[in-house]
Amino acid sequence: MTITETPAPRSPSKLWRRTKTVLSVVLALAATFLGLLFVTFIIGRVVPIDPVLAVVGERASQAQIEAARTALGLDRPMWEQFYIYVVNVFQGDLGTSLLTRRPVLEDIKNVFPATLELATIATIFGVLTGIPAGVLAATRPGTWIDQIVRIIGLAGYSTPVFWLGLMGLLLFYGTLGWVGGGGRVSNEFVDALEFDIVRVTGIVLIDSALAGEWAVFGNAVKHAVLPSAVLGYYSMAYISRMTRSFMLNELSQEYITTARVKGMPEWRVIWVHALKNVMVPLITVIALSYANLLEGSVLTETVFSWPGLGMYITNALFSADMPAVLGGTVVVGLVFVAINMLSDVLYRLVDPRAK
């Protein structure tokens, strides 16, 4: 007869601590999101743009203006307007765009995959080049390798993105013809992208590959290379700079000296032990870089005519389309909150002490 041991139940104190941790995280996220909604609401009320005139036009009669103001709920007290705004946002209603006459959330669903595609490729490029460059610079401080990495990082941090994009288009597209021009695909592939390829993710590279449209895929790659490289250069500069700083601090720790004294190979000391500890703060750097690319690619999308969220918000701002501007701002805030949550999860996977 075999006796099976049942696992001991978790102590109430441990369960209570974990419950409190989860509740604190949820409350912090809720407070952050409500603060974001409050700020966007105030911005929508203080900007010198009358939403009523944007709807009915400047030649409307006073009766039409008052009717539109009542329909929009702008005649109600401020606290009631904010309450209605919060309820609508939590129901997925970000308003209706004055420019496209469609729900803002529907517009954002159409344009956000383009920004996601661009920022993801740029971040991958930044991580794959920035981390090795920062590690090499930290292991050879003061050498010509360190100086080159620092100069490249400084140039990437200082050079205006729009100027870099224009120079890239002039050289690699206009002169050499190595890459595609503006937009996500060339004009001859627009119809195939719209009618022949099923929209699964909204990301052209993925959807065209799933559909087996390799001509569209190749053309999309040619168009994505240059804007991704421009954003990726900015990401690489930031990541390499922070990696170098973290590694310099980590390589001066006593456990690194102990590992070297014991005869451990230098590559293992650097790329396994030191880099593993550096990855904990580096996760925050990569997450913030990714979030900044998702919301800060306005100039790049404008230069390359890339139909993403940044270009959508820019066009809405020039057209006084405040529902679209505020809806895009809310989505950007949600992206930052979601990426911060993801970085917290990655902390626990990389460093068990965070548990």
What gap in Å lies between CA 191 and CA 182, rounded to an integer?
16
- For residue 297, what pLDDT is reported? 74
Please give the structure tokens belonging to residue 355: 């548990």
Q: Is the pLDDT of residue 228 over 80?
A: yes
- For residue 128, what pLDDT is reported? 93
**Alpha helices by DSSP H, 212-321:** 214-251, 254-261, 266-268, 275-296, 298-303, 309-318
Contacts of 299 (CB under 8 A, 6+ apart): 160, 161, 162, 165, 310
Q: Is the pLDDT of residue 261 over 70?
A: yes
The domain 111-354 having CATH identifier 1.10.3720.10: the answer here is yes
What gap in Å lies between CA 13 and CA 339, rounded to an integer?
30
- Residue 4 pLDDT level (bands cut at 50, 70, 90): low
Instruction: Tell me which of 228 and 21 has the higher pLDDT.
Output: 228
C-beta separation of 206 from 200 below 8 A? yes
C-beta separation of 145 from 164 below 8 A? no
Task: For residues 267-288, give the mean pLDDT.
Answer: 85
Instruction: Tell me which of 29 and 204 has the higher pLDDT.
Output: 204
Instruction: Tell me which of 52 and 263 has the higher pLDDT.
Output: 263
Q: Is the pLDDT of residue 141 over 70?
A: yes
What gap in Å lies between CA 57 and CA 76, rounded to an integer?
22
- For residue 1, what pLDDT is reported? 46
- For residue 92, what pLDDT is reported? 83
Task: For residues 150-162, give the mean pLDDT.
Answer: 85
pTM above 0.75, yes or no: yes
Task: For residues 210-226, give the mean pLDDT.
Answer: 89
Instruction: Work out the percent of the chain whose per-residue pLDDT is above 70.
Output: 89
Nearest to 86 by CA among 39, 51, 52: 39
Q: Is the pLDDT of residue 199 over 60?
A: yes
- For residue 125, what pLDDT is reported? 92
Lowest mean pLDDT, pick from 6-10, 53-57, 139-143, 336-340: 6-10
- For residue 226, what pLDDT is reported? 92
Task: For residues 134-150, give the mean pLDDT.
Answer: 89
Nearest to 312 by CA among 120, 134, 109, 73: 109
Q: Is the pLDDT of residue 331 over 80?
A: yes
Please give the structure tokens belonging to residue 333: 């805030």
List, for residues 186-196, the tens digit of each pLDDT value. 888 887 777 77
- For residue 188, what pLDDT is reported? 83
Residues of the chain with CATH 1.10.3720.10: 111-354
